[in-house]
Every structure is written in structure tokens, then in C-alpha cells.
Amino acid sequence: MRGFLLNRLSQSLVLLLIVSIIGFVVLNLIPGGPLAQFGLDPSMTQDDLNRLKEQLGLNRPLWMQYLDWAWRLVQGDWGHSFRDGAPVLDVIGRHLFATLLLMGSSTVIAIAIGTWIGIRGATHRYSIFDYLATVGAMVALSIPTFWFGLVGIYVFSLRLGWLPAGNMYTIGDGSVLNHIHHLILPSIVLALVHVAIWSRYMRTATLDVISQEFVKTARAKGLSERRILMKHVVGNALLPMITLAGMQLPSVLTGALVTETVFTWPGMGRLFLDSLGYSDYPVVMGLLIFSAILVVLCNLIADIAVAIIDPRIRLS
Amino acid sequence: MAARTEAVSGEDAALSVRGLTVDLPKGMERIHAVESISFDLKRGQILCIIGESGSGKSVTANTIMGLLPKLIPVSSGAIHLDGTAIIGAPAKKLRGLRGRVVSMIFQDPLSALNPLMTVGEQITEVLTAHGVGTKASRRKRAIELLTEVGLPDPELMYYQYPFRLSGGQRQRVMIAMALALEPTVLIADEPTTALDVTTQAQILKLIRDIQRRKGMSVMFITHDFGVVAEIADSVVVMEKGRVVEQGSAEQVLKSPTHPYTQRLIAAVPHLTGKNRAVQEKASNETILKVEGLSKTYRSGSALFGSQRIVPAVKDVSFDLAAGRTLGVVGESGSGKSSLGRLLIKLQDSDGGRILFEGRDIAKLSESQFRPLRPRIQMIFQDPFASLNPRSTIGQILTVGPVAHGMPYAQAREEARALLAHVGLDAGAFGRYPHEFSGGQRQRIGIARALMFKPKLLIADEAVSALDVSIQAQILKLLDQIQRETGVSMIFITHDLRVASQICDEIAVMQKGQIVERGPPSQIFLDPQSAYTRELVAAIPGERPRSTPPAAANF
């Protein structure tokens, strides 16, 4: 187990190095370069631009810029936004809370409902429930999220007036209840696709386990169907799902651009788009590294979780 | 074809089946899975149900357990278990019987235990499900059971996970689980088929001992007449869902009356101590000479100190003359399959030489070896997995030779001729693998290997997945092909009886090494190493027949 962890950690470090190098190079290949936004300002002269370049160290060779940037990053200095001069980590932190709130709640909804639908679809295979779940999943997967968002806003905000149409909270009212009220619609819309994906995978995983011999053994022992399901089927079916969750979780934390835009939610997805539009290189690079770390970390956590549950991995 | 059914009074029979008919879903090859079968399992006896695949023996067992899938319903008949009628009984009542009055053990101990639960949890679960005992008493009982089935260190075993145990140990855990509530009837569905021959002997003895000690009634399903001879008191023979013969073990084994039983018994490979007649085409020319061949598997990472090293093949040497067959026998993990893969260079060896027609192929790179590949061909174990389901038989047979430069028209002609040669009609050329039975697919596999006109055939457990009657046909076919073409063969098998049928010489492998090599007469009649003696002694049904096994119980 220790060897396994060390092995994975060293792999992760190499991966982060490669991702950061590629990101850095590609970003600097974009026409216009890091100071494109400043160039649009008519009051900036070429001399001003050159002075800025000098100040920011942008006139050095690319590899030197990278090494400098990486060295500061390792020390905890992620640089400053070109836009408002705020430290990159602060910028990310400001948006992270909004994303965590939205993504966290929609993920909980998606996993809970998706798991239930998946298991029930497998145990009641080819029943009406199973057919409806299959068709429902196909519909949820084929219709774009923004459409669901717009329909949701039209029905629940415009027509019924039950839920707010956007934003994270009403300005001047930062109460928990107000936050939850704003959260309901976007998190459900966002969960729809994830429920569809999760339930399909869970159904397949459950069917795989149900046909295993040890389930027959459990039946031969005279166990109740309920206990067979809870004790023998679900645990084994969740094993592959943990790995899947490990792959989905990072996308959850890096934000859902479309949903955030539809509901004007101030999350990471919108931050990324805005920063790109503004050629805010430090923030874009920061977000890139941040999501790479998340991907690596979530996969690592999933691997460890599987090892904890599965004695075959834990003990060998 | 009505079967004789002795009338047994209700008290005498622990289990009685009368006129049981179970339907198959529409569109299967026959209407009924089993059709009006009747038999009795007398108290304190072992009843063997024997039949080939598809005979309905497992369906019978599952019906008694109430474990039939909903797709195949019981259409008529009655089953009485310890006096209780179970056909049509409510699900809850059946569940109360399972594990308490009737228990079952299965064929594959590797998949029959939940990998995420400890052995102890899985045993105590039976007691919990039936509301027996307290937490402490259940634990005590589980450890008692683990002791009873002869597992080492029961206290420790209680906390083990199944993956830590060997196949034999897992089957012992299954037996402990089945015995937890001292059921009246134990149903064993091919419980030793997936085990090595020495382990099989131990498990058979354990079942026999426990059955005698507890006066339990056992319904034992098998396809192996050797196993029947070993433990049965009475026998039911099934064919295509019908009972064709039943009676005492001695009666059925010694003087079978039904032609199907006669054929089955005749097809059972028996150990012959006789050496094989020398082939006309055989010469003394050595086609393959192996010197000091070694292979070690390494897994994990050396860098972080979690490496595991398994020596699979250790310093193996032998030679093979043209037109002869060398049998490589051994139990699982003996390295026999690794040896086969090394010889055909599906894997690189770590050391040693493989001299094929005088040339060392061990060191050849993949591209250097490629022109030689057609000359060494392999026949695989699983006739279902070894043929691409999306290719027609014609494509399967011709793709290799065409890749090696044969014009398609010629390959097609040769493929058709070979299909006829291995006993299939030429129409097979355009059909897909799923349209053939296991035995037919193995014939296709043989034809595929022969397309290259090989000098050396390596058959890895080529008949292990087949029923005995098919097995006998395939062995005959291989023998005939060798006589006609003079091809040399390495026949890898775990079954000594099969090896004795077809091999000129046999090499016994244990832990990666050849412990003994000699003609069948030496291996089976005068084994030189202790391990060979142990192997030969463990073969079921091959003891001296001075004491008929059926008489042992009275």
C-alpha cells in the first residue's frame, strides 16, 4: 500500500510538470500575447507597453519565464491578475465557494438519485420503471443543459414565480435560506445530466454483480432479497463507480460553464472564460494548474477509497 | 423413454422428485429443460446425478433450491424436501428452507464467495438469516465449522478475505457455510470440477466423511464417472433433460443397461499404463530441444519495494522427436501453460535455449521469428473464446495463411479440404462460430492450426472444456492427424487420464520444474518421484476395484 501511494504520487508530480509546460507554451502561442488587452487601450504607447513588458519580465526567453513562474508557484506565489492586480489564489478562492456550493449540491443529488435509479433498474430489469429510466436518461443526455435551464427559468421563475431566475443571492440578503432558494433550480438542472450518466453506469455495474455466483450463494443461504442487495450487491457494484466518481469530481469543481452562464452564477467556469477573453495569463495558468491538481488528487482519492473498500487491493 | 423409479416411502427419502418438468424459454433448442424426471435421494446416502453439458442436471438442482430464474418456470411435477412440498410454496417459506434444510455448494469456489466480506462474516450470515444464536455463539459456531472442514488456523481464518485462500480452501469455506445449520440435504453442483486432482481427492473425502458422520443426504452433480465411482451410493443418468437410467452405483457402473450410459462410460478416458504404438511416420530426428529454459514473472515496482517475483518455469529441459507427442501434466500453477507460451514465443524467456529444427528461437526477435511462426501452431483451451465471433469460419482459417503470403484462392481451397478433414461439412466455411457446438469449435481450432502445415502443434488443455464423449472424439482426431501428417505435438493438460491416452512420453511438472519424465508405463505404473505417485493416486475412480465403492456405506 505504501509503495503504491509513493508510486502514484511520483507519477502525479511528473504529470503536473508536463501539464504546466504544455499549458504555458500553448498560452504563449496565442496571437497578441499576454499584453493584447493593454494594446487596445488608445492611451497606451509602444513605450508604455515595452516598459510593462520589462516590468513583468515578459521580454525574457519563454523557458526563463516558465522557470520563474514555476518556482514562484511552488513557493505559493501564483502571481497577480492582469485585470485588477489581485493575487491569483484570491481570485480563485472568491469563485471556488460559489462553484463548491452549486456543484456539491448537484453532485449529491445526482449520486443519490442516480444510484437508486440504477439499482432499481437492474433489480427490476425490463420493467416499466426500467424502460422509463432508460428513455429518461437518453432524453436528459440528448437535450443540451442550457435548454433545460431556460425552460426551468421560464416555468418556475417567470410563470410560477417560485424560484429566482439567477445569481447566487439577492443583493442585501446573504442569509443561508436565500442562498438555498437560489441554489435549487441550477443544481437540479445541472444534476439532470449527471443522474442520467450515473444511473446508466450503476445499472450496468449492478447487473454485473447480480449475475455473479456469490449472489447465488447468498440466495442459497436463505438470505432475504433486501439483505442480498444491501450486503452483497451494492458494495461490489459501487467499486467501479468510485473510480468513475474520481474522474467526474474534478469537472464538478472546475465549474459548469453553461449552467453558470444561464443562471449568472459567479463560479469557476465563468472565471475561466472571462480570464481567457481578457488574456489574463496569470489567472488562466493558475486555473489550469488548479484543475490539474484537482484531477490528480481526485483520482488518487478514488484509488485510495477503492483500496480501503476492496481487501484484494488493500492487503496485497 | 420412461425411467425406472423405485417406489420409496416418504420417510425413506430425504428428497423426492416426481414427474418434474421445467420449461425452457421459447426459441431454445428444446422445449423442456427437464422433462418428467423422477428420483429419490434416500436418507444418509450420496446420490450422483451424472450427465453431459445441457443434460438438465444443474436445472434440477436449482429447482430444488428454488433458485431458478423467473424465465424458466416449473410446469408440472412435485418435489418433497424432508416431507415438505416445495413446488408452489410461497417464496418466504422457501427462503426459510434454504440454508437450513437444504444447502448448496457450487462449481467455482473462486466466484462463489463475496470478495468484500471475511470468511467469518459469510458463515455467520447463514445463522443470522435464520435467526439462530447470539453474536458470540454464532462466532463460536463459525470457528467450529472452520475446524470441522479441516481449515488451518480457524481463529485466523475467520478474519481472512476469500482472495487470500486457495481454490481448495475456498471450497472448504463453502462447505462450512453449507453445513452451518446441519441441513438434511446437501446439494453439490460439480464442486470439484474446477479443482486440481489432488485437491479434488481431498474435497471428495471431506464430503464423504462429513456425510457419514452426520448421516446427511447428498445430491452430487457431476460429469465425471471417476467421481461417481469414488463416492456414489446410487446414480441417476441424465440426457437432454430426461432420466435415462438410475440405480445403485455398482449396478450402473458395472452393467449399464441404457445405450447412452454405455456410451458415456466407454468414453471416459481411463488411465492406461500401456505405451503408445510408435507412429509409422515417426523418425528419430529431434524436432525440438529445450535446454535450461527459465521464466520469472515480476509484478509491482522494484523502485518502491513492493515487487513480487514468481519463478514460473525453472531450468526446464527436454527433447521431442518428429511425429511424437510429449504430454506436459501438472496442477494449476505448475508452470505448464507458461512453458507452452514460451515455446510458441507468446512470451520471452529469461534464460535457456529452444532449439527448433536445430535453430535457437529463444533469442529471436519478433520480426526474426515471424517467418517461423506458421511452423509452430497452438490449439487453445477455450473453444468459445478463441474464435473471433465476428469472423466467419472461412475468414478465421484463411486470414493467417494469406498474411503469410498464400494466395486467397488457394487458402480457400485448403480451408475447405481441412474442414472436411476434421469432420465438418464444407458449408461451415461461410458460417459464424456461434453456430457451432463446443466440440465443433475445437475442430475448427484444430483446422485453423493445421492451415499452416505446422511441424509442431502445442495443445494447451485442448480438450479440458469438452464433455467426455466429445473429448474422446477430439483425441482420436488429433491422433489421426498426427499419423497422417507426422506433426509433433506438445499436449499440455491437467488430466492424467487424457495424457495417458495420447502421449508417447509424459513430463510431470511441479512448481516450474519437470520432476519426472518417461513413457506412460513408467509414469502410471512405476512412478519414480513422490509427487507423481501422489498425482496418480488422486485420480478419481482409478483405485484397484477390489472393494466396490458402493458397498462402503453399508
Residues A137 and A56 in one domain: no
Write out residues 190-249 of A within 8 Å (CB-CB) of B. Answer: 212-214, 216-224, 227, 231-232, 235-236
For β-strands B505-510 and B513-518, DSSP reports them as antiparallel
Q: Above 60 in pLDDT, residue B10?
A: no
The torsion defined by the Cα of B45, B47, B48 and B49, in degrees rounded to 10, comes to: -170
Picking from B30, B41, B7, the residue whose alpha carbon sits closest to that of residue B236 is: B41
Residues A98 and A222 in one domain: yes
Q: Which residues are CB-neighbours of B34 under 8 A, at least 6 positions away?
A: B20, B21, B22, B56, B59, B60, B63, B238, B241, B242
Q: Which residues are CB-neighbours of B536 under 8 A, at least 6 positions away?
A: B271, B496, B523, B524, B527, B542
Q: Structural domain of residue A95, as residue ranges?
A: 89-314
Q: Is B108 within 8 Å of chain A by CB?
A: yes
Q: In this predicted structure, what is the pLDDT of residue B46?
A: 94
Residues A182 and A106 in one domain: yes
Picking from B2, B34, B38, B1, the residue whose alpha carbon sits closest to that of residue B18 is: B38
Share above pLDDT 90 across residues of chain B, in percent, rounded to a whole number: 34
Cβ atoms of B264 and B237 within 8 Å: the answer is: yes
Residues A162 and A37 in one domain: no
- From the list A217, A220, A316, the residue facing B113 with the nearest CB is A217
Distances, alpha carbon A76 to alpha carbons A14, A94, A286, B302, in Å = 19, 17, 11, 34
Q: In this predicted structure, what is the pLDDT of residue B1?
A: 41
- From the list B98, B115, B303, the residue facing A221 with the nearest CB is B98
Residue B79: strand pairing partners: B17
CA B312 – CA B513 distance, rounded (Å): 9
| Nearest chain B CA: its distance from A132 CA (Å) | 22
| Nearest chain B CA: its distance from A114 CA (Å) | 23
Size (chain A), residues: 316
Distances, alpha carbon B30 to alpha carbons B23, B35, B137, B273, in Å = 9, 10, 50, 42
Q: What domains are defined for chain B?
A: 323-349+373-538 (3.40.50.300)
The per-residue b/e assignment along B118-146, b for 16 or more CB within 10 angstroms, e otherwise, is bbbbbbbbbbebbeeeeeeebbebbbebb
A81 lies in a domain? no
| Nearest chain A CA: its distance from B297 CA (Å) | 16
Residues A151 and A123 in one domain: yes
Cβ atoms of B22 and B34 within 8 Å: the answer is: yes
DSSP3 helix / strand / coil % (chain B, rounded to 5): 40, 25, 40
Q: Is B186 within 8 Å of chain A by CB?
A: no
Q: In this predicted structure, what is the pLDDT of residue B301?
A: 56
CA A264 – CA A215 distance, rounded (Å): 49
Q: Above 50 in pLDDT, residue B8?
A: no
Residues A11 and A146 in one domain: no
Cβ atoms of A160 and A79 within 8 Å: the answer is: no
Task: Determine the residue of chain B that is closest to A213 in CA distance.
Answer: B112
Residues A130 and A244 in one domain: yes
| Nearest chain B CA: its distance from A129 CA (Å) | 18
Question: What is this structure's pTM?
Answer: 0.79
Q: In this predicted structure, what is the pLDDT of residue B509?
A: 92
Residues A161 and A229 in one domain: yes
Report the number of distinct structural domains present in chain A: 2
CA A162 – CA A207 distance, rounded (Å): 40
Q: Is B306 within 8 Å of chain A by CB?
A: yes
Task: Look at A235 and B116 and tell me if their CB atoms are within 8 Å.
Answer: yes
Task: Determine the residue of chain B that is closest to A9 in CA distance.
Answer: B304
Measured between beta carbons, the chain A residues lying within 8 angstroms of B116 are 235-236, 309-311
Task: Look at B99 and A220 and tell me if their CB atoms are within 8 Å.
Answer: yes
Q: In this predicted structure, what is the pLDDT of residue B553?
A: 35
Count helices and strands (H / E) in chain B: 19, 20
Residues A48 and A135 in one domain: no
* B167-195 pLDDT, tens digit each: 888 999 999 999 999 899 999 998 888 78
| Cell matching residue B29 | 433448442
Average pLDDT over chain A, rounded to an integer: 85
Sites in chain A below the pLDDT cut of 70: 1-2, 39, 251-255, 316
Write out residues 220-259 of B within 8 Å (CB-CB) of A. Answer: none
Picking from A82, A130, A111, the residue whose alpha carbon sits closest to that of residue A241 is: A111
Q: Is A4 within 8 Å of chain B by CB?
A: yes
Q: In this predicted structure, what is the pLDDT of residue B224?
A: 86
- From the list B99, B111, B306, the residue facing A213 with the nearest CB is B111
Measured between beta carbons, the chain A residues lying within 8 angstroms of B117 are 231-232
Task: Look at A311 and B303 and tell me if their CB atoms are within 8 Å.
Answer: no
Write out residues 7-26 of A within 8 Å (CB-CB) of B. Answer: 7
CA A201 – CA A195 distance, rounded (Å): 10
Measured between beta carbons, the chain A residues lying within 8 angstroms of B161 are 311-312, 315
Q: In this predicted structure, what is the pLDDT of residue A278?
A: 81
Q: B93-97, B125-129, B264-268, B419-423: which range is least confident on average? A: B264-268
What is the complex's ipTM, to 2 decimals? Answer: 0.77
A83 lies in a domain? no
Residue B318: strand pairing partners: B290
Q: Which residues are CB-neighbours of A165 under 8 A, at least 6 positions away?
A: A153, A157, A158, A263
Q: Is B188 within 8 Å of chain A by CB?
A: no
* B327-357 pLDDT, tens digit each: 999 888 788 888 998 998 888 888 889 999 8
CA B338 – CA A72 distance, rounded (Å): 53
Picking from B274, B284, B273, B374, the residue whose alpha carbon sits closest to that of residue B323 is: B284
Cβ atoms of B320 and B288 within 8 Å: the answer is: yes
CA B105 – CA B65 distance, rounded (Å): 11
**CATH code for the domain in which residue A142 is found:** 1.10.3720.10
CA A147 – CA B377 distance, rounded (Å): 59
Q: In this predicted structure, what is the pLDDT of residue B547?
A: 35
What are residue A111's phi and psi, to 5 degrees? -70, -45
Cβ atoms of B128 and B80 within 8 Å: the answer is: no
Q: Which residues are CB-neighbours of B288 under 8 A, at least 6 positions away?
A: B319, B320, B343, B354, B355, B356, B357, B456, B488, B490
Residues A97 and A241 in one domain: yes
Average pLDDT over chain B, rounded to an integer: 85
Q: Above 70 in pLDDT, residue B146?
A: yes
Measured between beta carbons, the chain A residues lying within 8 angstroms of B125 are 218, 221, 223, 231
* A192-207 pLDDT, tens digit each: 888 998 999 999 999 9
Task: Look at B114 and A312 and tell me if their CB atoms are within 8 Å.
Answer: no
For β-strands B286-299 and B513-518, DSSP reports them as unpaired
* B253-297 pLDDT, tens digit each: 888 999 999 988 888 777 777 777 766 555 678 889 999 999 888
Residues A68 and A96 in one domain: no
Residues A158 and A247 in one domain: yes
A84 lies in a domain? no
Q: Last residue of some domain: A74, A99, A127?
A: A74
**Which residue, among A125, A217, A313, A316, would best test binding to B if mutated, counting the most B CBs under 10 Å from its CB?**
A217
B316-329: average pLDDT: 91
| A133 residue type, one letter | A
Q: Is B479 within 8 Å of chain A by CB?
A: no
3-class secondary-structure state, position A37: helix
| Nearest chain B CA: its distance from A249 CA (Å) | 25
Side-chain half-sphere CA neighbours of B310 within 13 A = 10
Task: Look at A223 and B129 and tell me if their CB atoms are within 8 Å.
Answer: yes
| Nearest chain A CA: its distance from B502 CA (Å) | 35
* B500-544 pLDDT, tens digit each: 888 999 999 998 899 999 998 888 888 889 999 988 888 887 654
* B72-105 pLDDT, tens digit each: 888 888 999 888 888 888 888 889 999 899 999 9
